[in-house]
Amino acid sequence: MKHTSLHIPVQIFQDFTELNPSDALLLEAARKATGHAYAPYSNFRVGAAVMLIDGQTLSGSNQENASFPAGICAERVVLSAASATFPGTAIISLALTYVNKSSTSNRPISPCGICRQTLAEYEQRFNHPIRMILGGISGEIFIVNRATDLLPFAFSNQELNTY
């Protein structure tokens, strides 16, 4: 038996002003996107924005449904939009933010499990890490180099025999 451990590098920024210009631009786009969320059930408005390898940006927001499981997270909205509109163009970063009911959005959120799984497969498809920029409307911002850092021991298609 042997022991091992995983190391996940995270950069923590005091606030928005410390970000590099392209991360700041993307987080700003995600913040704007919270305004397009359809979240009448949770009142938790999530915004996500991606940057493609050619510098284009797209944004998305959570879209809920009266049949709750039918709703979709902001991350998967924007990932699908990017892949459907610009197929074959790698996604290099994703910014994620939110506005909640009490309007206290002063610390980062992190993608849910399904979104982590989805992000992992986009990294694999494009063979490119997706830099994750996680922040609230104010407060500290966490940056993680690749989405799969958030999903150790991920399930992947490697063992999946498809016919």
* Distance spanning both ends of the chain, measured CA to CA: 37
Q: In this structure, are residues 91 and 52 in contact, taking their beta carbons and an 8 Å threshold?
A: yes
Q: How far is the CB of 101 from ligand THU (least distance, A)?
A: 11
Q: How far is the CB of 74 from ligand THU (least distance, A)?
A: 4
46 forms part of the interface with ligand THU (CB under 6 A): yes
Spatial separation of the C-alpha atoms in residues 113 and 154, rounded to whole Å? 10
Give the residue with the Cβ less far from ligand THU, 28 or 64: 64
75 is catalytic: yes
Residues in Cβ contact with 37 at an 8 Å cutoff, skipping those fewer than 6 apart: 45, 46, 47, 61, 62, 63, 74, 99
135 forms part of the interface with ligand THU (CB under 6 A): no
144 forms part of the interface with ligand THU (CB under 6 A): no
Name the site residues for ligand THU (rule: CB under 6 A): 39, 42, 44, 46, 62, 64, 71, 73-75, 111-112, 115
